Amino acid sequence: MARSPIDGEELRRRVGDAGSSREDRLEALTDLVSAVPPRGAPSGESNNHVHTIYSFSPYSPSMAALRAAEAGLEVAGSVDHDSIAAAREMTAACALVGVGCVTGCELRVAFRGGPGGRPFPFSDRKINNPDSRGIVYMTIQGVPAGRAGELAAFLEPIRKARRGRTARMAAAASSALRDVGAEGLDFELDVAGRSKAAEGGGITERHLLAAVAEKLIGRYGRGASLLGGLGRGFGVALSGRLASLIGDASNPMLVYDLLGVLKSAFLERIFEQPGDGECPDAAEAVAFARSIGAIPAYAYLGDVGESPTGDKKAEKFEDDFIVPLFDALQATGFLAVAYMPPRNTAAQLERVRELCEERGLMQISGVDINSPRQSFNCPELRRPEFANLRGATWALVAHERLSSADPGAGLFSGANPLAAMPLAERLEAYARAGRSLDPGRPDEVGDVLDGLMKGRYTR
């Protein structure tokens, strides 16, 4: 009997189906790859900061890997809010499409106590978090495969606390919606129900705002009526590009675009500040990350001008106190700083890079992906001045895979025979090792591990 032709569109739908199992998505990706190898023109780029359905994103880990391959990326990394649930699928999916993989999570921590128990001089200021003072976003990256369970357990009470706070904000949002004649929110159905909380995923403000966006569309419709209703009834007036997007009745990304508007113009009306249970002390989170062989990184934001995604207002953040901040990062035990080249000016990036080099902090790049309007590509990484970021990404790949096999092979492990090398030289050695690993065989590291430990990747 003749075999039925492969239905590529159906396979893509299954790869991205948030309602199916990891196994089903990976099976569909396997079939798709066997029929049409998804490889775009090599770009020399990578993205270490892709959100998946396990926080808020249109992409399953399998679809994120597929999109990365189609964009010609060398490496893709999953970084979900308060969750490491994407890691296993992301690793397997990247292997199927031949892309290097790194995994981790993003969380919020508090800068409470500095040296001698005194507050840091910036503890009462906005640092890199538009919603809160003294609370920062950080990432835990390069998580060894065998330690992901410990990280999941560390994050579980954080997710629980955040869920409770988000439910209270949903009640406030419901009241605002009913005031304009819209349907209120059912937290379990409309907010938690669109998340992967039952599988260890996080529930974020974006889940809540997506639900609010849908209720507003239900109340006002699309196009000019939505634009007018937002302004007259809901107190959100728009102009320029955002007005054009929200007023476009045929906009297929309307919920995501409206979500971004609501994050900037509505969230503060219902926002409840997170408590200690949701935001552990920075030193505690950093120490935990290091204890499992992962790399804790501060996420640099920098003063914001015009936000490319419309979800951040023009506002000042850490640039005015960046030197004492880096002092605090070093004192707290951070090992890296993560930043997004497209989001900052050349002057901002030059200062951050100088401080990282002075303090011996690894530099990790990535562009926050959580909307279908965003590109997986980051052409800035092709520029000569960012060659170190391309190398650092491959070093991160090597760190994660090799330390999964041997904890002593971790990039920052004291048992590493390369530990005495200057960080820049160690990163170069790890980058060469990372490029030598076969992305399609994530469990095969023996020859590269042996070579790195014996110094074959040093100059």
Closest Cα to residue 421, out of 450, 458, 389? Answer: 458
> What percent of the chain is modeled with pLDDT above 70?
96
State the pLDDT at residue 1: 37
State the pLDDT at residue 313: 67
pLDDT digits (tens, 9 = 90+) for 330-365: 999 999 999 999 889 999 999 999 999 999 999 999
In angstroms, the CA 30 to CA 49 distance is 24
φ, ψ of residue 428 to 5 degrees: the values are -65, -40
In angstroms, the CA 184 to CA 420 distance is 59
Place of tokens 């490491």: 84
pLDDT digits (tens, 9 = 90+) for 28-43: 999 999 988 777 778 8
pLDDT digits (tens, 9 = 90+) for 416-447: 999 999 999 999 999 999 999 999 998 899 89
In angstroms, the CA 250 to CA 228 distance is 16
pTM: 0.94
Query: Which of 21-25, 65-69, 118-122, 219-223 shows the lowest per-residue confidence on average (mean pLDDT)?
Result: 118-122
In angstroms, the CA 185 to CA 244 distance is 27
